[in-house]
Amino acid sequence: MRVLIVEDEAKLAERISNALVAAGLTADLAGDGTQATFLGETEPYDAAVLDLGLPKMDGLSVLEHWRASGCKMPVLILTARSRWHEKLAGFNAGADDYLTKPFEIDELVIRIKALIRRSAGHASSILECGGLRLDINTARFDYAGEPIELTAQEYRILAFLMHHAGKLVSRTDLIEHIYARDADSDSNVIDVLVGRIRKKLPEPMLQTVRGQGFVLTAGNE
């Protein structure tokens, strides 16, 4: 899952990014409103953290541009502005959640994960597909109660597939949602990683649809 962090304070942006990456997500950074508007409208993010006080274009204007362009990703506003009318303006512009500074970094991570799972149609923080289970908050997989050991990239792939269980996910979808914008990506690497994940799951949970992508199923479909 890929998150856009829009924050002009470089140290804070890096802190948020490090926390999200440690939690199994992928993060891109934007330091001003103009760059944020462009990235939000052209890249397939699963969620965004948006500061309101930005150079070049303020956060509310960025959000309004995103929504006007049809961008539907969930957005968490992060700001020092705490008065109710300011929060109301954010929600009216299309925000999904609101967190005021100072804040606990763990709370931000949990809120972002909640926004992502709800946007994928999941009410619970525990996702299940057959005997496979993902605890989103702890970023842990298990099958029939036994933990599954995954590398960071394997986790990102399987977590994305888990959020979209039963649906065909193309290689392009995986590349766009597990790699940061400037990262080197290769569909052949995706195939290798999927092959490793498949060996850690019962057959035939993770299926390859030739020329199209992958489907995670309950295993008996």
Query: Which residue(s) pair with 178 in the sheet?
Result: none
Half-sphere exposure of 220 (CA within 13 A, CB side): 4
Dihedral, CA of residue 93, residue 97, residue 102 and residue 108, to nearest 10 = -140
Give the per-residue pLDDT at 220: 56
Give the per-residue pLDDT at 46: 96
Q: Does domain 126-216 have CATH number 1.10.10.10?
A: yes
Give the per-residue pLDDT at 221: 44
Sequence-distant (≥ 6) Cβ neighbours of residue 186 within 8 angstroms:
none
pTM greater than the 0.85 cutoff: yes
Domain regions of the chain by residue span: 2-119, 126-216
Q: Which of 199, 204, 206 is nearest to 220 (CA)?
A: 204
Q: Which of 48, 47, 40, 53 is nearest to 86 (CA)?
A: 53
Helix (H, G, I), strand (E, B) or coil at 36: helix
State which CATH number among 3.40.50.720, 3.40.1180.10, 3.40.50.2300, 3.30.750.200 fits the domain covering 2-119: 3.40.50.2300
For 195, phi and psi rounded to 5 degrees?
-60, -40
Q: Is the peptide bond before 204 cis (omega within 30 degrees of 0)?
A: yes
Give the per-residue pLDDT at 110: 96
221 residues of the chain, pLDDT tens digit each: 999 999 999 999 999 999 999 999 999 999 999 999 999 999 999 999 999 989 999 999 999 999 999 999 999 999 887 778 888 888 999 999 999 989 999 999 999 999 999 999 899 999 999 899 999 999 999 999 999 999 999 999 999 999 999 999 999 999 999 988 877 666 688 889 999 999 999 888 999 998 899 999 986 54
d(CA 100, CA 62): 18
